[in-house]
Chain A
Amino acid sequence: MALNNRALIIVAGIAVALLVLGLALLALLVVDRSAVQLVFGLVLALVLPGYLITQALLPRSLAGIPERIVLSVGVSLAVDALGGLVLNLTPWGLERATWSLLLVGVSVLFFIIAALRRAWEMPHVALGLSARDGLLLLLALAIGIVALTIARAPAAPPSIEGYTALWVVPSDSAQSPVGFGVSSSEVSPVEYSLEIKVNGQVINRAPNFTLRPGEKWEATLDLPAAPAGNARLEADLYRLDRPQSIYRQVVLDRTK
């Protein structure tokens, strides 16, 4: 449909701008991280600016459907890249709101230009897919989904070497409580014991504890006053299924 009244076109452009901005605000404020926001983001970042710029500038005879597809996406990518530079110069920077304003603004501007140039006639598109083609595409989609599902499945534990992490959180003074932690990324539950030593003397043994994969154990210990200028705090973690050797070890050395 070709519009023939410039004022009407500008009013329509403003109406579209308000509509898109309204959708933007809706996506920003109401449906955060929703499918609507995703679709909005994809269209605004990867399609709309490029499509409207191409529509406004290029005559239909010089750009068919494949050309318009590649220009819609490619020019949108370019606008995003350059738009980031522009937004970087503003005090607000590259925020969701400023991105929305910029890309909606660019889109509306070129929508108006396209409308003024009467560049809205779209070439006739005949999809030309037969029922057989449709079935084949559905089959391809189904197989593709199976492939992606297989690819995204996490690795199975039997072949994997798990690990445990032990840590100590340094404190500012020798008298401050010291925090310890153990996290298990082993592939099965493991039972541990933790032994705390100061200058080689055991001062604390934490009760044995079991961690399942992904679990954490944390504790804070008040340490006795150490001999002045020469304190070496050591925490040794043992696996109870291999108690003969230290499994993990952390050290705070305060030798002066």
Chain B
Amino acid sequence: MKTDEPTGWGWLPALCVTASVGLLVVALADRAGINGEPLAEPLFWLGILIILTPFAIRLLTGDAARRERIGLVVVLGLALYVVKYMHSPYAFTFSDELIHVFNADQTLTTNHLFNRNLILQITPLYPGLQSVVAALAALGGLSPFDAGIVVIGAARLVLVLSLFLFFEEISGSARIAGLAALLYMLNANFLFWLSQLSYQTLALSLAALFLFIVSRRANVQDRSHRLAFDAIALIIFGAVVITHHLTTYAVVGFLWLFTLLFKFTSKGEQKSPWILAVIASVATLAWLGTVARLTLTYLLPLFGEAFASAVRFVTGQESGRELFRSTTGYLAPLWERITGIGSIAVILAGMPAGLLYTWRKYRHNPFAVALGLLAPTYFALLLLRFTGAGWEIANRSSMFLFIAIAFVLAVGIVELRLPEQAGVFVGAGASRLKSPYGRAAAAVLAGLVAFAFVGGVIAGWPPNDRLPRPYVVSADAQLLEPPGVSAARWTKAFLGAGNRIASDGSNARLLQSYGEQRAVTGDDLEIRQMLTARLVDKSVIDTIHYHGIAYLLFDRRRVSGDHMIGTFFDRKSEVADGTIALFDPVVYQKFDRVDNVNRLFDGGNIVIYDVRGLDGSE
């Protein structure tokens, strides 16, 4: 029987070519970025637009087959993952990645989980990611880096495909599903944050798969079949519980919201997930109470301070954080600020129609109603971006809330028949996307999607971190590593592993990962204050004694305090023009004048001191 339903791959093969061309442009941008060329930034954005826009146009149109839409979503999601891989193809360089790759490395070294991580102590208590990386590294003979790249790539595949299937299950429309999966990629963390080796990356992918299974299960009438879904759902949720705290709590929250809404919105054909909500809650509390008690002392102060900061901001006691200004004082250029705010405005503009049609069409679907309720909270939480202590919570919450935003927006776009309506408005006759006007309207909408994507990247990722910096240098047929990595390796070779070494944020991560040292860092421990003091006074000595510090690694470059860009080679141009600013010599030379302190290693900017003999500290 002949049917009008399209079945082929449609544009997918051609769009694979455009995605590859986009990746090629991004690769050229990365090369230019490594050399510090001004062309790098525009090339980067051009490459991103070449990757994204054709996919957006195609997903907006109405004549693509389901398999084509699935292919588009998967290829686009993976292409954007490759953008991150090309950023640092030799080693993990993002701040959190160094923490998690250390955990995986420790698992491979000790053959056990729950090893200590002094820099982020909570991470070993959620060993799901390190377990998976260790499994692949051990079985496949891969390095932790290679295994991590593959695992996060697999997680990306699971994330985008699960979201598609989740949205499709709720809406019954492959078009809405494809569009919603595309719109999820507009969240500020998709390009870089959700591509890094981090426990949240893996947990979010598994959480998306869990949501899909819960939504599919709700439509299964046969009890034994539902039990099968329950079993699979619990395997996946078990992995989420042991992988990441906040993702677990978000999933439990989603589950209870679905359960509650089943009471009020479902017509009875669907099955409530209450049993899963109960089991998930028990599992979450059990893990929290028995293994990960530290989670409370880790998370509560963060949320408490964010709440207090928000109250102070609202009551005028706090002046608030300036948007688009980094902690180092860098203010994003005007076009970036306009795009960042404009992207929020575009998303906000789509919400009324999206919410209206979600209610009209899906008000008896508890999952859709839940997403409709959650979507506006994204905008409420955006206010936290104005507070010093709350912006990170606003930033991180977008990963969860954009599931709701994406669905609501996609429903609005499809139900409003925007591209088709444009065709009618300009007299194209039947509202068919095959008309040039319909295609033009789809292109305009795709432009808005691309605009929102760029705005999201701007809002979520500082400019200095978007393009790679020199990490591996080839000279005289030799590959050279950055100074911090060499220094960290030196500590392991000459001082042995497991020494307590104080350092700035970026070098501490390298000391832990490459030197296997017990690195101590951070404002909380007053290490930064100790390192940047002008004198070796009593407070400095007390800090050293209190933490039992045996060695100090001092990096005189101020950028070393930036976890994201402090680990690279310096460019000659940046040294010449003063972009690489140094601390005052009084600060970085202060230990040179102290008796019984040995200056063991001098790598130029990086100096390692032995302070074990400091005034009775032995």
Q: B-contacting residues of A (Cβ < 8 Å)? A: 27, 32-34, 37-38, 40-42, 44-46, 53-54, 57-59, 62, 66-67, 69-71, 73-75, 77-85, 88, 92-96, 99-100, 103, 128-129, 132-134, 136-137, 139-144, 146-148, 150-170, 183, 185-189, 212-214, 237, 248-256
Contact = CB atoms under 8 A, between A and B. Distances in A.
B20 interface: yes
A214 B89 contact: no
Q: Residue among A71, A74, A80 with the most chain B CB within 10 A? A: A74
A146 B26 CA distance: 12
Interface string B108-146: 101111100000000000011111101110111110000
Nearest to A37: B141
A80 B131 contact: yes
A137 to B, nearest CB: 5
A108 to B, nearest CB: 16
Contacts, number: 338
Interface in B139-169: 139-142, 150-151, 154-155, 157-158, 161-162, 164-165
Contacts of A32: 141
Contact of B151 (A57, A74, A77, A160): A77
* CB-based closest 6 A-B pairs: A41-B140, A84-B131, A214-B478, A93-B111, A41-B139, A78-B239
Nearest to A152: B89
Given A83-B131, A96-B139, A163 B598 contact: no
B296 interface: no
Given A37-B141, A136-B16, A70 B165 contact: yes
A78 B235 contact: yes
Given A166-B602, A248-B604, A53 B235 contact: yes
Nearest to B26: A147
B172 interface: no
Contact of B596 (A57, A81, A142, A254): A254
Contact of B157 (A53, A73, A140): A73
A99 B573 contact: no
Interface stretch (B27-35, B271-279, B502-510): B27-35
29 contacts: A37-B141, A41-B136, A71-B209, A75-B235, A78-B206, A82-B239, A84-B107, A84-B130, A85-B242, A100-B139, A134-B13, A136-B14, A136-B17, A143-B24, A147-B26, A151-B26, A159-B34, A159-B36, A161-B569, A161-B575, A165-B486, A170-B598, A185-B486, A213-B480, A248-B603, A250-B600, A250-B602, A253-B595, A253-B613
Given A160-B470, A183-B486, 20 more contacts: A38-B142, A45-B135, A75-B235, A81-B128, A81-B129, A81-B239, A84-B131, A94-B108, A94-B135, A95-B111, A155-B34, A155-B35, A157-B473, A160-B569, A160-B571, A161-B572, A166-B602, A212-B476, A237-B602, A253-B598
Interface in B578-605: 592, 595-605
A166 B157 CA distance: 47
B180 to A, nearest CB: 15
Nearest to A154: B474
Contact of A154 (B128, B155, B479, B494): B479
Contacts of B373: none
A66 to B, nearest CB: 5
A159 B599 CA distance: 30
Contacts of B494: 167, 169
B384 to A, nearest CB: 31
B535 to A, nearest CB: 18
